[in-house]
Structure 1
Amino acid sequence: MQTVSRIEPRTPAAHERQAFFSSSGPMAMDAPLLHPPRHGLLALEDGIVQEGVLRGAPAAAEGDLIFTTAATGWGEVLTDPSYAGQIVVLTHPMAGNYRITAGELESGRVHARALVVGRLVTPPAGPGWSLEELLVSGGIPAITGIDTRALTLQLRRGARRRAVIRTTEVPVPEAIAEAKASPTWESVDHVATVATAEPLYVPPNGPRRGRAVLVDFGVKRSLLTALAARGFEITVLPPDVTAAAVASEEPDLVVLSPGPGDPARMEAQIALVRELAADAVAGGPPILGICLGHQLLALAARAPTCRLAVGHHGGNHAVIEVETGRVDIGAHNHEVAVLEDPALAAAGYRVSHRDLNDGTVEGLVHASGRIASVQFHPEGAPGPIDAARVLDLATAGALADRQGAFPIARA
C-alpha cells in the first residue's frame, strides 16, 4: 500500500495548499516552452461554430462541452478528476491573471480535455505556472477570443454538447462531422481513467482521532486534506473494491468519493454501495457520500438519476438545508442529479438539501441516521467552504457512534 505524505492540519485557502503528489513527475514545476498562437475553431455537433485563437498545447481536442461560473480556481478545475472527458467553458470573461502553484492542483495531472475562454492573459513573472503553461504541461489546448457568454446561453437553450477544437485548416463541415462522431460523455467509463488502481494511505494531521475508508471514484486532493485535517487516517481503495475489503479495514466512517461520468452505467459500484448501505443501516460503519457517491447511494436504493439540462459547475451555487432553512454558497460540479422518487422514501431516505436555483436534490439522509450524502462539494476547491460543516458533522458523528452516542446525520 502506498503512503501519501502528510498534509496540512486544516483546510486552508487555495494559495496556501501543498500538493500531496510529487512535483517532479509529469507536471514538474519547470516552466514549459509556449507555442505560437494559431487560428482555430470550436465546432459543436449541431452546427454551432465559433472561430478563435488556439493557445496552450498544440493539440486537437474533443469532449463534452460544459460551462463553469467559477471566476478563479483554474488550476483546481483543470486537475479535478470530475472534469474528465469535458471541454470547460469559463463564463468569466478573463482568465490567467495570477500564477498557479502546485498546491492548487487537485490531482497529479490535467483531466479536462480543453479550455474555452474569452480572454487569456499572462500574469507577471513569479513562482508557479501561468495558466497557459499549465495547459502546455497538461497537453491540452485552449481556444480564446470566444464569446463564452453567448456560448453559455446556447448551451442553456439546449445546444448539443459534443464538440471539437481544431485548427482552421480543418474545414468547418469536417469539424462538425467529427463532433457528431465523437463518443458521448455517458458512454465512457471515466472513473476507470482517474481512480486509483491500488490502495493508498493518508495519515492524519495531528493526533489520530479515527479511521476512514474512502472508495475512490475520482477523489480530489482537497477532500483528503479536509478529512485528514479532522484527525482521520484514510485508506483510499479502488472503485472495484469489495464490501468485505472495506469492512476488513474496520473504519469509523466510509466515504464514497466524487468522480466523473454517468453513475447509471456503474453496475458493480451500485451493487457495492447497496451492500455497504445495508451494512451501515444494520449497525456497520456509517457512510458519507459526496457528489458521485451521493448519486450511487440513490441508485443503490433503486431511485433514478438523470442528466441535467444545465449542469451545475462553479463556486457560487446556493443550497438550502430543508430542515433548518440554512443556505450555503458552495462548490458544485455535476452533470447528473438524483430524481426525487418514491424509491427513496421506500428505502428510508429523505431529501435534506435542495438547490435554490432549480430545486435539484442536493442531499439525502437515511432514517437510521447512519447514511448521509450531498451532491455539492463541502471541501470547496475552488469555491467557498460554507458547507464544510458537513464534514464536521459526519466525522464527529462517526466518532461518537463508536460509543453509541449519536448517529452520523440528523434523521
Structure 2
Amino acid sequence: MKLKQREKAFLLLADGSCFEGTSIGSKGTSGGEICFNTGMTGYQEVYTDPSYFGQIIVNTNAHIGNYGAVDVEQESDRPKINGLVVSEYSEIHSRHDGESTLDEYLSNHGIVGIANLDTRKIVKHIRSKGAMNAIISSEYQEIEQLKSELAKVPSMDHLELSSRVTTAEPYLMNEGAEFKVAVLDIGVKKSILSNMVDRGCELKVFPAKSTFEEMKSYNPDGYFISNGPGDPAAMPYAVETVKQILQQDKPMFGICLGHQIIALANGVSTFKMHHGHRGLNHPVKNIISGLSEVTSQNHGFAVNREEVEASDTLELTHINLNDHTVAGIRVKGKPVFSVQHHPEASPGPHDSRYLFDDFIQLIKKHRKS
C-alpha cells in the first residue's frame, strides 16, 4: 500500500501556543474548544458522540486509526467533533471487518485533523492552563492568519448547541414494547437508546425544544433527558420542560447534560469546569450502595455540589473520586434521578449499566401505585 503524502498542518491555542504537525483527514481550517479524551479504544464512538459537538479532541492514546472505521459503531449519523489531534496516526487498519481507514472516514465527513504532535505535552498544557479555544489548519501557515481564524471561534461558555444536534422530527423506536419512554433529545447517543430498547422500552424521541405538552401527549410511563453538548445554563427551554415534568411525579432519568438540566430545574446552578472529564476510566462512588464504579465520562460543565448539599429538594447519590464533584443526584420524594457519567459506556466499562435497570424498576413501581 502506497502511503499518502502528508502536508503541513498547524495547531494554534488561544494562549498563543503553536504546534506544527502533518495534516490528516480533510484539508482545511477548523476551530473549537480543545479538550482531551483518555480512552485507549473506541475513538469512533467518541468522534460521533453529539456531546463533543463544537470541540477539538486530543486523543491521549499514542496510536490512533489502527482498527479503521465501521458504520455500526457510530453513536450518531456522522462525526460531531470539530477537529482531531493525535500523536501516531495509522495509515492502514488491520481489523478484518473495518470498512475504511480512519483517514478515509474523516475525509469523507470533512473533519480536519493534525498528527505527529507531542500530545502528552499538549494534554499537560491543557490540564495546567484549562480548556480553551484552538484552531487546526492545513491552509494557513502564517501566525497572524491563524490568529484571525481563531478569533472567529465562539466561546463554549454560554453556548447553546443542543438545537444543532437534535432530531428534526419526533420518531418512534421499538414500537409496541412494554414500557413507553419519552426521550428529550438534547444530543442523545444511539447506544443509550439501545440500552432502553433492550430493557423493553418503546421510545418516542422528541426534538430538544419540544414542549412538555408535546411530550405528555405521548402518555409515557417515564421520561428520559439525554446527554448533549454546550452550556446547560444557555438552555432555559429544556429547564422549563423538565420543571413541568417534575410536577407530574412520573419517573425521570437524566444523563450528563440531562443531569445538569434536572439540577437547574431544581434551582441548583452549574459551572464551567477547568478542563472537564473525558475518558473511560473515571472512578465514581455510589454513596447509596457504598460501591465504587469505573465510568465513562464526557462533560465540561458540572453541578454545584455545595448547592446540592444545601438543597431541600435534591440528594447527592454519586461523587467523582478524582475531584469530588457531583456525579449523581436524585429528587427527594420523587422518582427522579440523574448521573453525570455515561452508564451506556460506549466506549467504556459497563459498571454503571444497572442505572437503566433502576429506571425500569421505577417505572414498574410507579405503574403499580
Secondary structure, in 3 states, of the residue corresponding to 2:129? coil
Secondary structure, in 3 states, of the residue corresponding to 2:353? helix
Letter in 2 for 1:337: A
CA distance in 2, matches of 1:354, 1:214: 25
- Of residues 120, 127, 133, the one that matches 1:149 is 120
CA distance in 2, matches of 1:191, 1:124: 36
Structure 1 residue 169: deviation in Å? 4.2
CA distance in 2, matches of 1:182, 1:322: 40
Calculate the TM-score normalised by the size of structure 2.
Answer: 0.95
What number of residue pairs does the alignment pair up? 366
Structure 1 residue 347: deviation in Å? 4.3
Which residue matches 1:308? 273
CA distance in 2, matches of 1:125, 1:269: 41
- Of residues 280, 293, 317, the one that matches 1:328 is 293
Secondary structure, in 3 states, of the residue corresponding to 2:182? strand
Calculate the TM-score normalised by the size of structure 1.
Answer: 0.85
Which residue matches 2:83? 114
CA distance in 2, matches of 1:169, 1:108: 30
Structure 1 residue 369: deviation in Å? 4.0
Quickly say closer, same or farther: Cα 1:403–1:320, change in 2 above 3 A.
same
Q: Conserved in 1, the CA contact under 8 Å of 2:130 and 2:275?
A: no
Structure 1 residue 141: deviation in Å? 1.8
After the TM superposition, which residues 5-404 of structure 1 pair with which residues of structure 2 at under 5 Å, given as runs?
Answer: 36-121=5-90, 122-124=92-94, 126-127=96-97, 128-159=99-130, 161-167=132-138, 169-203=140-174, 208-280=177-249, 285-342=250-307, 345-404=310-369
Deviations 1:153-179 (A, max 9, x none): 100111551111113742123313432
Q: Conserved in 2, the CA contact under 8 Å of 1:301 and 1:343?
A: no
Unaligned residue ranges in structure 2 (runs of 5+): none
Quickly say closer, same or farther: Cα 1:40–1:352, change in 2 above 3 A.
same
CA distance in 1, matches of 2:167, 2:179: 22
Letter in 1 for 2:338: S
CA distance in 1, matches of 2:55, 2:194: 25
Structure 1 residue 251: deviation in Å? 1.0
CA distance in 1, matches of 2:283, 2:95: 36
CA distance in 2, matches of 1:86, 1:67: 10
Structure 1 residue 400: deviation in Å? 2.5
Structure 1 residue 344: deviation in Å? 6.3
Structure 1 residue 355: deviation in Å? 0.4
Deviations 1:172-212 (A, max 9, x none): 233134324421123433111100121010016xx822110
Quickly say closer, same or farther: Cα 1:353–1:373, change in 2 above 3 A.
same
CA-atom RMSD in angstroms: 1.8
Structure 1 residue 123: deviation in Å? 1.1
Q: Conserved in 2, the CA contact under 8 Å of 1:99 and 1:126?
A: no
Structure 1 residue 55: deviation in Å? 1.0
Quickly say closer, same or farther: Cα 1:171–1:213, change in 2 above 3 A.
same
